[in-house]
Amino acid sequence: MYQIETTPEFDRDIKSLDPPVALRIIEKIEWLAHNPELLKHPLKNLPKDLKGLQKYKVGEYRVLLWAEHRNKTMVLYGVEHRKTVYKKL
Through-space distance between the first and last CA atoms of the chain, rounded to whole angstroms: 29
Beta bridge partners of 67: 74
Domain count, the chain: 1
Buried b (16+ CB within 10 A) or exposed e, 49-86: eeeebbbbebeebbbbbbbbeeeebbbbbbbbeeeebe
Task: Residue 42: give its domain's CATH number.
Answer: 3.30.2310.20
pLDDT one digit per residue (tens) for the chain, 89 residues: 999 999 999 999 999 999 999 999 999 999 999 998 888 777 888 888 888 899 999 999 999 999 988 999 999 999 999 888 877 66
Residue 77: domain span: 3-81
6 Cβ neighbours under 8 A, 6+ residues apart? 75, 76
* Domain-embedded: residue 88: no
* Domain-embedded: residue 89: no
pTM for the whole structure: 0.87
* Domain-embedded: residue 36: yes
